[in-house]
Amino acid sequence: MTDPKPSAGNFISNFDINQAGLVRDGGIVKFQMNHKRELFDGLIRLHVLLHAAHEPIFGLAMMHELAHHGYRVGPGTLYPLMHGLERAGLLKSSLQRAEGRRRRLYRITPAGKRALEKARVKVDELHRELHEEGPRRLVSESGA
């Protein structure tokens, strides 16, 4: 497992393993699952913020919406994610009674709106690089 070559791939893998604390848990399959989830976590959060900016949302409806976008996210992932957004001050929740059942509704906060707007600019930029311009060269032709 110890590869002294400082290739980009190894650096990213080691970084993620350390970030996720998976050295203790071990297991290649688990690592790969978490690796993929980390990649899409930010996109899922942006979807949640976007929908909360348009209407009050609750977990189950958001889960269906994410499935519509091709993200299979269970309650064990989505609820902590939404709680996290509330802890960060980007969402605000309240308990509502509907058809005899209580459900937690989330609305976006002013800080959440600002974060969404900043993210929108960054997503636009990524989109341009992905689809229109291609990635910028990191090293000049001359090597200088």
Q: Where are the alpha helices (DSSP H) in the chain?
A: 8-20, 22-25, 28-54, 59-68, 75-87, 110-128
By CB under 5 A, which span of 7-15, 38-46, 61-69, 82-90 interacts with Zn ion? Answer: 61-69
- Pick between residue 16 and residue 65 the one whose CB is nearest to Zn ion: 65
- Comparing CA positions, the residue from 79, 81, 4, 2 lying closest to residue 43 is 81
Residues of this chain, 63-82, that bind Zn ion according to CB under 5 A: 65
- Pick between residue 20 and residue 43 the one whose CB is nearest to Zn ion: 43
Q: What angle do CA 113, 35, 58 make, to 5 degrees?
A: 40
Rounded to a whole number of angstroms, the minimum distance from the CB of residue 8 to Zn ion is 32
Residues that bind Zn ion (CB under 5 A): 65
